[in-house]
Structure 1
Amino acid sequence: MDDPVLLPKLKLTAPELPPFLADYAAIAKKMPNWAVRAALMSQYPRHLYNYLRFDSASEESLRNLSTMLVDSNLYLNDPADFNDPFEFKNRLVLDDDEVLKHFFSVVHSVTHPNDTRSPSARDALIEELVAKVKTAPEQIFGVLFETHSHGVHCFTPEPKSQLMWSHYADSHRGICLQFRTSYDVPTFLAAGAVDYCDDFPDFHIPTAPQADTVAMMMRKGTSWSYEKERRIAMLAINSRLLSFEPRALTGLILGSRFPKKHLPAIQQMLAKRFDRGLPKVQLYQAEAQDTAYRLSVRKLESMPLNSGAISGVIPWDSIYER
């Protein structure tokens, strides 16, 4: 079967897991599968979901879906590309003068090792820098707030959110992917709950602790709280791709307005996944209810796979249970 038109694939190294997640993964391997699931389910949603736009005529849409559905990779986005202009905002908190002076002294000695100025002249320069950082800290420490080296992947535990179907899935014409969290403990354990608060998190300078950076990546205003978002947020990544266990991707929900003309492209990708020997992905259909402002999600019967092709779509017959 011919591959769909996709952008060239790159061989990239996935970012390393934080040490505490790596330790958890090692422990999890020694535990019975039921014990791992029980421990995870006690504090995490059973499923997490990704809403996506989908247009079979768009290379970007095909690539985005293929990355997860066929290649089993999550894409770690630059927070600067998100739709919230307040992403990565903070409230600068200056450390005390002695810390600032020590910081600039070290920086100056490293950047100007052959400085011939007298100690008093160097001290005067340091005092000047401390004064400047108090009036315009962003001019000196702006590099700390650049996001291009960080990566975020967003999920929600809500597959029937009308607003998210509208905002992220092309007004219900897109799709939503379902992930079973207990099928990939180390990856989805990293999906922390977003902190919804209308105050910016503190960012201490010049010490700039890693916890402050993480707090910026994990906080949003309360107007976004309906999303119940969970994020995998990674710092100083060397790849935008993070691999996950293929069986963790368990479902694909078609939006209530999903155009039938795009079905062949979905079928082709499912067939490609089948040809690679990857686990089955269950199909669902979102529907607008007739008597209330709510969505229902119904299961579609399995579509038979023959020689790497899909034939016949059987109508759904049961309501999807989350």
Structure 2
Amino acid sequence: MKVYKYRGGSTYYCEIDQEHKRILERDLESLKADYFWAPTRYTLNDPFECLFKDKVSPVFNGLKQLFPSENTHQLQMALESLLNFIDKSGIYSLSQTPLSELLWSHYAYSHTGFCVEYDLKILTKYRHQNLTELSIQYNQQSPSIELQDILANSNDLISQKMFGYKSQAWSYEEEIRIITPEYGRIDYDYRAVNAIYFGLRMDAQDKNLIMESLKGRSIKYYQMILKHESYQLAYEPIEDLFLDAPPYKYNIAPIADDAIDTYNKEFSEYQNYLVKAAEIVRRDPYCRRVDTVMFSNNKSTVPNPIVIVQYEITPPYTYNHYLTLDEIDEQYSKILDL
């Protein structure tokens, strides 16, 4: 799924506004260093963030007075822990469109900034981070957290009610948000950034600066334009000025001894695909070592074997990467440094 973040302000328009210049530099630095900042609800521009009706606490208070037991105390502690989670968590807000006139005006400093296109799946699956994705529901009334929500132990439902509702007035944002266990810096796989859209009023010097800062990452670039005789926005592709730059985070990791399985006779005719898969994965920019390459017992069939590659990244996590034979052929054909 593609999601979008409106960012920055042009230094051309910042000559009389150093705050805008500082924000552009901040946003560009986070892109270069492959992270986003998830603030607390208190620093967001909606004072009603995480507003809900707590219909559980009064029930617990009554139960404690009638039945002062260890069980009711534990339930109360669980509820307090849940409510405290709101204050320490982070919220990263994104949109489902790069074409919002109002979002360009509000968050990209009157169209002088830019918009980042992310792949949401890649953005949230880095290094086993416990991130939650929510689609905002817009309503005239705030939601209620009921006793049955707690008893059902439905974390998804409770998260939606705590973080996933906003007033109908905000519906134009078409918001998708990422909830982080703690607020602050969240690192991500740089390949989550698919494209950059330049605002209508962004200075050419700053466009060049962004392209130079992000060179070697295979990012696509687009210029926002006005549709003829219309109030609607559109965009058109523009050339990457640094298309010939060397790859960012170039890597060829080692392959562990005996990593490639040579004992599976059922798929022996496809043995060369294991070697190809190892060559593909060892070039992953975050791969430290390829540990195991084999045909998956669970996913493979005789006419359609699936290769699983287990590899280590930093800090020491093990990833499982699955590849079909067609995917191996396609990706292996693009390797230029064999």
Identity over aligned residues, as a percent? 23
Q: Deviations over 1:134-153 (max 9, x none)?
A: xxxxxxx7994685411011
Aligned amino acid, residue 198 of structure 1 = Q
Q: CA deviation at 1:190?
A: 3.9
User: Structure 1: any 5+ residue segments left out of the alignment?
Assistant: 1-44, 111-140, 309-322
From 213, 224, 239, give the equivalent of 1:301.
239
Q: Does 1:256 align with 2:197?
A: no
Provide, for residues 187-212 of structure 1, a one-character-per-residue CA deviation record: whole Å limited to 9, x for no partner: 6994321121221122458x797654
Cα shift at 1:234: 2.5
Q: CA deviation at 1:59?
A: 3.2
Q: Residue deviations 1:63-89, cap 9 Å, x none?
A: 22321x222212212111111121111
Matched length: 226
> What TM-score do the two structures reach when normalised by structure 1?
0.59
Aligned to 1:292: 230
List per-residue Cα deviations over 1:12-66 (Å, max 9, x = no partner): xxxxxxxxxxxxxxxxxxxxxxxxxxxxxxxxx3x11111122446334312232
| TM superposition shift of 1:163 | 1.2
Whether the 8 Å contact between 1:77 and 1:153 is mirrored in structure 2 is: yes
Q: How does 1:127-138 map to 2 (within 5 A)?
A: none
Pick from 19, 25, 47 the counterpart of residue 62 of structure 1.
Answer: 25
SS in structure 1 opposite 2:91?
strand
Report if the CA contact (8 A) 2:136-2:165 is conserved: yes
Residue number in structure 1 paired with 2:249: none
The aligned counterpart of 2:162 is 216
Letter of the 2:138 counterpart: Y
Alignment pair present for 1:197 and 2:139: yes
| Aligned residue runs from structure 1 range 244-283, under 5 A | 244-271=188-215, 274=216, 279-283=217-221
Partner of 1:101: 65
Write 1 or 2 for the structure with the bigger share of helix. Answer: 1
Change (3 A) 1:158 1:212: same
**Aligned-pair CA distance for 1:225:** 1.5
Please point out which of 173, 180, 195 is paired with 1:227. 173
Q: 1:87 aligns with which of 49, 69, 76?
A: 49
Task: Give the Å deviation of 1:292.
Answer: 1.0
Q: Distance in 1 between matches of 2:188 and 2:168?
A: 30
Offset at 1:164?
A: 1.0
Q: Any conservation in 1 of the 2:99–2:234 contact (CA below 8 Å)?
A: yes
Q: CA deviation at 1:261?
A: 4.3
Length-normalised TM-score, structure 2: 0.56
User: Against the structure 1 CA distance between its residues 294 and 219, is the aligned structure 2 distance closer, same or farther, given a 3 Å change threshold?
Assistant: same
Q: Matched residues in 1 for 2:218 and 2:67: separation?
A: 55
**Secondary structure of 1:95's aligned partner:** helix
Alpha-carbon deviation of 1:304?
3.2
Q: Larger strand proportion, structure 1 or 2?
A: 2
For structure 2, the 5+ residue unaligned runs are 12-17, 75-79, 247-338
Structure 1 contact 95–204 (Cα < 8 Å) conserved? no
Q: Are 1:152 and 2:107 matched, yes or no?
A: no
**Post-superposition offset of 1:223:** 1.7
Q: In structure 2, how many angstroms separate the alpha carbons of the residues matched to 1:103 and 1:289?
A: 67
Query: d(CA) in 2 for partners of 1:52 and 1:104?
Result: 53
Deviation at 1:178, TM superposition (A): 0.7
Q: Deviations over 1:255-282 (max 9, x none)?
A: 11112343343244224xx3xxxx2211
C-alpha distance after superposition, 1:110-163 (max 9, x if no partner)? 9xxxxxxxxxxxxxxxxxxxxxxxxxxxxxx79946854110111112111111
Structure 1 contact 53–175 (Cα < 8 Å) conserved: yes
Displacement of 1:100: 3.7
